[in-house]
Copies of this chain bind each other. A is one copy, B any other.
Amino acid sequence: MVRELGALLVADPFVVMNAIGLVAFALVGASKAIREQFDLFGIAVVGLATAFAGGMTRDILVNRIPLALSDPSEIALGVVGVGLAIGLHVVLESPDDHPVTLVSDAVGLAAFATAGAIVATEAGVSAFGVVAIATVNAVGGGAIADILLDRAPFILFEDFYASCAVLGGTTYWLAVTAGLGGSTAAAACAAVTVGTRLIAVTQGWSLPTAQRFRPG
């Protein structure tokens, strides 16, 4: 199975990255909704919205019908992620703060940054477009989750989160421009994104915010 996944990753990196992102972000969104004590309907809505929001924005930007609406496997993968979140909640105590959820979030961020970079490159956008679409694909889910949970989505600006996707998207564009194959570029993008994100979480990295520059 691992070997088949590896072969698929070489054959069609988008499918693999998109599937990983859907499961991981549905898990993260559903876990947040569980901690807020939403009912089952609310948990499913927040989980699926977290999984779908980034990709839908990406698809609207590159001018195609959102995959989440046209491909039934998207919702199946989202449901798997929601189910995993509920399972984790039963097995563990606090899934929202648990390392499993934090790692899932970093993995989903990296997988969606890569999926976005692949779609953007295929759509023939500029270097800026590749990085922008990779970032939107990666952070859209976290933003919509915060909106649905009635938190300010400015968490995106407050730590080293969107910046990891910017670095990953830039890596993808550099790799493709340097003549590397799509699978290699995808692996490099995912590795840079998940690596910087996990280091940022464990080291407590943060970008300087505007507030730090405001007068006392």
Q: A residues touching B (Cβ–Cβ < 8 Å)?
A: 36-39, 41-42, 56, 60-66, 68-72, 74-75, 120, 123-129, 132-133, 207-208, 210, 212-215
Contacts and interface: CB of A to CB of B under 8 A. Distances in A.
Contacts of A133: 69
A37 B213 contact: yes
20 contacts: A36-B210, A37-B214, A38-B210, A38-B213, A39-B213, A42-B210, A56-B61, A60-B61, A61-B65, A61-B69, A63-B64, A65-B129, A68-B128, A69-B125, A70-B125, A70-B126, A70-B129, A71-B126, A72-B127, A72-B128
The 7 tightest CB contacts between A and B, nearest first, are: A69-B129, A72-B126, A38-B210, A69-B125, A70-B125, A75-B128, A37-B213
Contacts of A72: 126-128
A208 B39 contact: yes
Contact of A207 (B36, B41, B123, B128): B41
Interface centre among A69, A133, A213 (most CB of B within 10 A): A69
